[in-house]
Amino acid sequence: MNKSRIAAIDVGNDALKANFGKLENELYIPNVIARDMEDRPVIGIEELDEKDPLDNIHIRVHSPALEENNAVYRVGNLATKSNNSTELDPGSSKSEEDQTIVMLIASLALDAVSNGELKTGRNDVIDANYTLGTGLPLREVKEGKDVGYRSQLLGSVHQVEFLVTPKYQGKKVNIKFDEVKVYPEGFAAYVNLIMDNDRNVINKELIDKQILIQDIGGLSTDIAVIRNRNVDDDKAQGFNLGVAESLEEIREEIRTKHGVELDSRRDVVDIITRKNDRHHIMVRGSRTNVHDITDRILLELAKKEYRYLRNVWAKNSQSEICYFVGGGSAVLKEYIKALNNKLDGFNIEFFEDENESIWMMANAYYKLISDFVAKSIKDTKDTKDTKEEKTAEKAK
């Protein structure tokens, strides 16, 4: 039996972020899939293996957890080039979407085929065992959807077959979970603030404070109220509002006004957040400013997010600070800061490193699942030592 490998996966609405093993492998894959045919045509097929597998993920997924089993998909960057690509819709539940499972299992298979310790068996099949840490929005956890999501993953063997994918074509990966931990996203963000990768406490001044964490994602916003080192389940709130709808609105307005078709919401995020030529696109070869479109739509969204903050803070008046996390926070940071300076002046904090905010959940799941594994090993050792001591006593 293969040794269980740690996987910490944040299936974000914009992109999947994942850490594996002892942090020797990480993956970032846009959360876009498209149904496809088994023999997709490739120009320059003889050069396929020189291409990047992450840009050409083409797989068949077999899993009892899926409604549409045994289907063929393009995943990530390759899917954005398809005219039938799908992203998660506003109002959907992450735990109930096939797309979430497809993305998660695809990332595990990609880790498995690149892991030199796992040997390919007969018929190019790799067997891979994982101990998984992942999460769901607070709203879904409060509704109990984490239980069904976890059992779907735990109780089955999930297979990914790589089709026309560079380097991995023809390989199959059988994935089994030895354990699955599903964490509420708000609590995970808190853990990331107070614990480093070696599970040492950092930011000790936060431990006994009452703090808020506003996690703005693609489809939802969670505001966790942390007191006594735990999420206050009664006070925590989840809202069916994220940046996805606004990104679609920007995408549509750019198409209508400038005749430019952007492949996905990921392209809109890039226009808004990139370092150079921010808020600009190319229109018939000319650099064109779209700041009027992005500004108006994002400011409206920021006002709604700020209203959530104001309402939750009013009901939790002894909160000392609110941390904004998640990919949506990186998009709305300047707008929310401006509103706060003009209006209430709450004590709020953003992560200046946008990458840190985007990777916060995946990093938190890694810390949590690593801590679980370390404690399990210790408990097993303690139990073994106790049994040996009792055996030694009887022998006397």
Reference 138, options 232, 45, 228; nearest CA is 232
Where does CATH 3.30.420.40 sit in the chain?
Answer: 5-184, 189-242+301-358
CATH architecture for the domain at 5-184: 2-Layer Sandwich (3.30)
pLDDT at 318: 93
pLDDT at 287: 93
pLDDT tens digits, 87-100:
887 777 889 999 99
| This prediction's pTM | 0.86
| Average pLDDT over all residues of the chain | 89
The pLDDT-based confidence of 128 (bands split at 50, 70, 90) is: very high
pLDDT at 385 over 70: no
Stretch among 4-13, 113-122, 380-389 having the lowest mean pLDDT: 380-389
pLDDT at 193: 83
pLDDT at 63: 95
Residue type (1 letter), 25? N
pLDDT at 395: 61
pLDDT at 72 over 70: yes
The three-state (H, E, C) secondary structure of the chain, written as one string: CCCCEEEEEEECCCEEEEEECCCCEEEEEECCEEECCCCCCCCCHHHHHHCCHHHCEEEEEECCCCCCCCEEEEECHHHHCCCCCECCCCCCCHHHCHHHHHHHHHHHHHHHHHCCCCCCCHHHEEEEEEEEEEEECHHHHHCCHHHHHHHHHHCCCEEEEECCCCCCCCCEEEEEEEEEEEEEHHHHHHHHHHECCCCCECCHHHCCCCEEEEEECCCCEEEEEEECCEECCCCCEEECCCCHHHHHHHHHHHHHHHCCCCCCHHHHHHHHHCCCCCCEEEECCEEEECHHHHHHHHHHHHHHHHHHHHHHHHHCCCCCEEEEECHHHHHHHHHHHHHHHHCCCCCEECCCCHHHHHCHHHHHHHHHHHHHHHHHHHHHHHHHHHHHHHHHHHHC
Q: Which residue has the higher pLDDT, 150 or 265?
A: 150
- 244, 87 contact by CB (below 8 A): yes
- 221, 215 contact by CB (below 8 A): yes
Average pLDDT estimate for 228-246 = 84
Cα end-to-end distance, the chain, whole Å: 37
- 211, 226 contact by CB (below 8 A): yes
Average pLDDT estimate for 243-249 = 92
Topology of domain 189-242+301-358, per CATH?
Nucleotidyltransferase; domain 5 (3.30.420)
The pLDDT-based confidence of 179 (bands split at 50, 70, 90) is: very high
- 74, 34 contact by CB (below 8 A): yes
The pLDDT-based confidence of 246 (bands split at 50, 70, 90) is: very high
> CA-to-CA distance for 215 and 327, rounded, in angstroms?
8
Average pLDDT estimate for 31-48 = 79
Average pLDDT estimate for 186-204 = 80
Percentage of the chain exceeding pLDDT 70: 95
The pLDDT-based confidence of 46 (bands split at 50, 70, 90) is: low
Average pLDDT estimate for 199-215 = 85
Average pLDDT estimate for 263-271 = 86
